[in-house]
A and B are shown apart, each in its own frame.
Chain A
Amino acid sequence: MPTKLLLNNEHIPGINTLQVYRNNGGYASVEKALKQMTPEAIVEEVKISGLRGRGGAGFPTGMKWSFLAKPAGVPRYLVCNADESEPGTFKDRYLMEKIPHLLVEGMITSSYALGCNTAYIYIRGEYFYVSRILENAIAEAYAAGYLGSNILGTGYNLNLYVQVGGGAYICGEETALLESLEGKRGNPRIKPPFPAIAGLYGCPTVVNNVETIAAVVPIVNNGGEAYSKIGIGKSTGTKLISASGHINKPGVYEIELGIPVEEFIYSDSYCGGIRNGKQLKAVVAGGSSVPVLPTELILKTAAGQPRLMSYESLSEGGFQTGTMLGSGGFIVMDEDTSIVKNLYTFTRFYHHESCGQCSPCREGTGWMEKIMHKILDGHGTLKDVDLLWDIQSKIEGKTICPLGEAAAWPVAAAIRHFRHEFEAYVMQPSSIKDVKHYYRLNNIEPIPA
């Protein structure tokens, strides 16, 4: 039976209510933290646990927390990034929908550790119904004395607010999120200063993903030591994986970091194998922006070792032969999938979501989509494939925020590993006979010949 730290109680009826949640051990971390621990001790436990940011970057959470500036007389903020909009990723929604109190509990404990008296959950606009679930949970927590002033009689005060975003992917980037939270246009900020020094309203701020904050609860309850023993190497603890695509059992799975990818795809405890008995073709392992890998490279590393579900193993080999754990959006494609069409979908998405601040991304994402459209329509040339490669290389790492890279990586990986498919589209327009059907399905206007 896999170790579960976050979703262990997900099937208990009424777990979304404070009563049931508390009866199953909920809010123990708040009691323990506020009554028995100093904020510094909690930060120390988180450091020991080896917890890494679950939003995608995998930055050590304890270290991020210890960077937080603490000038006297200036408020500090904790902001939960619930703007989960990476295609293929839906784990935060699942967690908030099922066990909202886990996030609320994590927010209280973490805020106490960071010395914040105001905290925000910034949730993506499309999750409006989840925001209501959270609001209900927060109201219950206020009524039970877990939020508000003088929490549990300890003298600690915390107000927690939910802010619904306006539906922009860019607002998941932490500085754009802060801009949006301040009521401005969601454009990323230039760094430095980093949010830990000047974040929300110019004050020191920590921005953490939903899952990261939820993971603080078991760390405080059981100690960082116990958490660090789960997982493998520097990939400690458990991770929520959103599995989607051509598999038998799509859904959210909590895995212990370090299980083999092959096991995750084929085991009945997880994805249950490829749908309709088809063969695996490729996997996007960590949300749409991470490089796609063909079967041979996702199951085994270039060195022939089994690929594991961990930060290190998935990125082994760099982008030449590896990928990233990212946000845990695990998209599985079977043998019938066209990588070209799949990439077109991704480029459309990034074109639509580029904020327009940096020239390479604003113009580049547009042209990547236009060129993909041209190729799909059968008007492409081999030059266009080279141009695609050129554009992506001039976006990656050359923009203010990582959205530019997020848009560039999928293009680079698709061409790197599946160049022959692009060439086929360009050279043999007959191979695209099904494209009209595809356009109809996806509501796309074909380019007039």
Chain B
Amino acid sequence: MQTTKTISQHPIAPTQVVQTTAFVNNQPYTIIPGETILSFLRRHFGNDTVPTLCDAPNLEPFGSCRVCSVDVALTANGSTKAQASCHTPVMAGSYIYPDSDRIQQLRKNIIELVLTDHPLDCLTCEVNNNCELQTVAARVGIREVRYPDGKNHLYKKHEKDHSHPYMTSDFSKCINCFRCVRACDEVQGQFVLSMAGRGFDSHIVKGQDVSFNDSDCVSCGACAQACPTSAISDVFESKSIVYDKKVRTVCTYCGVGCNLEVAVRADKIKSIQAPVNAAANGGHTCLKGRYAFSFHNHGDRLQSPLIKRNGVFETATWDEAYEYIAERLTQIKNQYGPDAIGGISSARCTNEENYIMQKFIRAVIGTNNIDSCARVCHSPTALGMQRTFGTGAATNSIIDLEYTDCIMVIGANPTDAHPVTGAKIKQAALKGKTLIIIDPRKTELVKYAQYHLQLKPGTNVALLNMMLFYIIKEQKEDKDFIASRTEGYDAFKQQMLNLNMDEMEAITGVPKELVRDAAIAYASANNAMSFHGLGVTEHSQGTFTVMQIADLAMITGNIGRRGVGVNPLRGQNNVQGAADMGCQPHQGAGYLDVTLPEYHKKYESFYGVNLPQHAGLKIPQMYDAALNQKFKALWVIGEDMAQTDPNTQHVVKAIEQLDLFIVQELFMTETSKLAHVILPGASFLEKSGTFTNGERRIQRVNAVVDPLPGTKTDGRIITDIMNKMGYKQADFDAPTLLNEIAQIVPFFAGVTWDNLGENGKQWPVLPDGSDTEILHTDTFKRGLGKFIYSDWRESDEIRKHGKEYPYIITTNRELEHYNCGTMTRRTRNAHILTEDVLLICAEDAAKHFIADGDMVCVESPRGKVDIKAKITDQVKPGVLSSTFHFPEIMLNNITSNERDTDAFCPEYKVVACNIRKSKGKYKNQPAV
């Protein structure tokens, strides 16, 4: 068609006189420039003032349903024109009549038309009583549908789709509002759902018109949450489930810290939704947060303490277990001294539980042998950023993604491992922001990136040095920032300029021109922010790499304002908190050095006991000490070291040397099988406390249901044993303990249970309760930021074994499963991703006559495993990659003892290996 009437749609007339009011039913109301009529009306008259169908809180205005139309006139009672309020900006001085007779009639007609193609089977519909169409129809008062019977889409072609473990659809209920399509595009960025056909035949299709199961759907559930009817829903009927109460809490999986709203009926958890007003996730979450909760009452849950006698676990009462533990610990302490005992706290537990665990180890046992799984993930981040900036946490917030111009992702795969942040990065890239990916793998984000520096694993330092070299050489550094905020630059610059780029190019395998372009793009952006993950830290030079990322931020002045900074993507829900709470052998609660006399004294007076003044053992040192018979007892909360720590045989051997091995767990894991005592803990849905997410946001976790019969919350277990061993510790109560924490952790000073509210606070929280979105705005924590040069050094793993084992295998994660899968494998996620596979490129596969789906034997100096091959272009020749979500594979049988030189984080990402086609002989080799 040709445009016929644009002239009649009066464009927004420039107002001569600045007016800040518009009239509603001839009464003046203030307007905010740029807001839509709908938000203007909602602001003044509440959310229900105008009925809508296609509008959704976390989606852009779309204007397809037209139900939100209001009459707009240029003069009082003047001639009106119906305008869709959701996308029309409110014009100063205009006269709005939101409920005129004409508009009521129009709305009625629209809904009537929609109902001609909608099954009127409300009573048996999933969303009965909770359906937006139903609500709007009732509101506008439809009494009859005047249209004759005719062709419609109710029984034709649209069969219900139950193919997927979670997602369901019944498109006879679809009202073509496009909300699911927009959620898929604008929130998740997956582009699975789209509208096919034209006009009356418009209909939603998944992928190329396939089922949910066959589509590329990532089951984030955004479409189901967005759909106003039951056209798209999920097996839990999340949006319409009848519930007794909804409890807001925080997700237990990754460090994004999504807020969840859990619906409970008769003390059973029915479904989970993502609250729209959540600062961390704004109405979005992933399939783990939304759907993978059924582990919590899975039949495998441990529901009684177990004591191993003669090699067999026997159930025991809690009193028996406490008695046994207290007696054995006291005996070991007396015989070998407190340093023969240690604890590994859990990043899955709350701040309060981590705090109490380290307090138990330090104040009751009397040793600093306390560590947490931060050791095996982001310990180099904490150390590296402490050295350069003075504090080891993310400098900025996720919301800064909206303000940045350039995003650099190094060694991280957020669309799989931090899905909500990953989706936001994807959205930013789709909006045209520069995206630089440094990763040996072609991750999903690479599709959206301008630059992909596909380096050889283990050459991070060399590559980042190349970037720093080019920034200096092309004089793209921020001289003012360097002069006023940093130190050590001159020496740093000198060493940089001595580097030979051709050598570096050969080392990293990335063309130097590409590195230069990416470096210039990062340095030239007005605001550039970096994200990094375990691809940075889990290396022998992890700490150095983190320092270089900090160097890059400092040299370009990208610190201390909106849209910049160094932002580690923390792996676990509370790994930030575990370290904050002092679950580290050298620093107590609040990162105060336990070896310094002033802090030592402070802790002693606070805990009221004498404390050791020497640093304790890190996790790998505990294993070594155990093998040397110096370390006798270990208490572990919620960590499966036997499946996740590298070099399984070594770990298992060390654990087997222990006299007492206590494990607090939800399930019988590879590690708990080795325990002398197992104490059944409680999941996040059964406890209250706080988690601190990757952007330092302390958020309240609220117990949704009581702990399963026979289980106790982890904090309570530790408190019980503290009292049992003679330390007076008040009953475990999260708000009380949070007050205690606020007194000792400087950056928690202003935190109270009540003032955290729904969205929590980002530390440091000042005594007056104000929190901090951006760190280092005026000065660094350590005063001046410090430039530290690091030279690239080949990992010992490659130097020692590279000739004999020419391939490098690196480990990664998949969206559907979380770490060793203890929880996710006990949900329907296991139906979506069923096994670990070996990613191998076609060239390497051909060389070894391996076809897609063949079993491959991967052999390293430590051992062998058999994995099914998946031929892909995600990896380059010579590089392999796999996950360790499933105990059937036990990939850590082949990973090494190499670790970060400074922070002792294991080198999971560079393992020398060899491959051959196998018959599956080395499959199913349990750790024990």
List A residues at the B interface (Cβ < 8 Å): 53, 55-59, 81, 83-86, 89, 168-170, 172-174, 185, 187, 190-192, 194, 202, 209, 287, 289-290, 324, 326-327, 351-367, 370-371, 374, 383-384, 387, 390-391, 394, 397-400, 402-403, 405-406
Contacts and interface: CB of A to CB of B under 8 A. Distances in A.
Contact of A360 (B62, B113, B195): B113
16 contacts: A56-B3, A85-B2, A86-B1, A172-B2, A173-B3, A174-B3, A187-B195, A290-B4, A356-B199, A358-B63, A362-B200, A362-B202, A370-B147, A387-B146, A394-B105, A394-B109
Given A192-B89, A358-B66, A360-B110, A365 B4 contact: no
Given A168-B198, A374-B148, A327 B7 contact: no
B1 A397 contact: no
Contacts of B202: 355-357, 362
B201 interface: yes
B176 A55 contact: no
Closest 5 CB pairs of A and B: A356-B202, A354-B199, A363-B113, A172-B1, A366-B200
A371 B194 CA distance: 30
A272 B81 CA distance: 42
Contacts of A387: 146-147
Given A355-B199, A398-B66, A363 B4 contact: no
Contacts of A58: 7
A355 to B, nearest CB: 6
B116 A390 contact: no
Interface of B: 1-7, 9, 11-12, 53, 61-67, 69, 81-82, 84, 87, 89, 105-106, 109-110, 113-114, 116-117, 146-148, 150-151, 175-176, 178, 194-195, 197-202, 432
A357 B182 CA distance: 13
B194 A358 contact: no
A387 B198 CA distance: 24
Contacts of A324: 4
B66 A359 contact: yes
Nearest to B63: A190
A359 B151 CA distance: 17
Contact of B1 (A173, A191, A194): A173
A405 B65 CA distance: 16
Nearest to A379: B148
Contacts of B61: 190
Given A84-B2, A209-B2, A371-B148, 9 more contacts: A86-B1, A185-B194, A190-B84, A192-B89, A290-B4, A351-B199, A356-B202, A360-B109, A363-B114
B2 to A, nearest CB: 4
Contacts of A355: 198-199, 202
Contacts of B82: 397-398
Contacts of A391: 109, 113
A370 B151 contact: yes
A81 B176 CA distance: 28
A372 B113 CA distance: 16
Contacts of B147: 367, 370-371, 387
Contact of A289 (B1, B87, B113): B1
A391 B200 CA distance: 15
A367 to B, nearest CB: 6
**Which of B9, B61, B84, B198 has the most chain A CB atoms closer than 10 A to its own CB?**
B198
Contacts of B116: 363, 367
A359 B114 contact: yes
Contacts of A405: 4-5
B359 to A, nearest CB: 56
Contacts of B178: 357
Contacts of A390: 109
B200 A363 contact: yes
Nearest to B149: A370
A359 B176 contact: yes
- Name the residue among B1, B7, B109, B113 with the largest chain A CB count within 10 angstroms: B1
A351 B202 CA distance: 12
Contacts of B175: 359
Contacts of B113: 359-360, 363-364, 367, 391, 394
A398 B1 contact: no
Nearest to B197: A356
Contacts of A85: 1-2
A355 B105 CA distance: 24
Contacts of A402: 3-6, 9
A353 B113 CA distance: 18
A187 B202 CA distance: 12
Residue from A81, A84, A398 whose CB has the most chain B CB atoms within 10 Å: A398
A437 to B, nearest CB: 24
Contacts of B151: 370
A354 B4 contact: no
B195 A356 contact: yes
A362 B199 contact: yes
A31 to B, nearest CB: 31
Nearest to B106: A394
A357 B64 contact: yes
Interface centre among A194, A359, A367 (most CB of B within 10 A): A359
Contacts of A361: 199
B669 to A, nearest CB: 49
Contacts of B7: 57-59
B199 A366 contact: yes
A86 B2 CA distance: 6
A94 to B, nearest CB: 15
B198 A89 contact: no
A55 B2 contact: yes
B84 to A, nearest CB: 7
Nearest to A52: B7
A381 to B, nearest CB: 10
Contact of B12 (A192, A366, A399): A192
A360 B2 CA distance: 20
B3 A53 contact: yes
Contacts of A174: 3, 6
A354 B84 CA distance: 19
Contact of A400 (B5, B63, B199): B63
A86 B4 CA distance: 10
Contacts of B69: 398
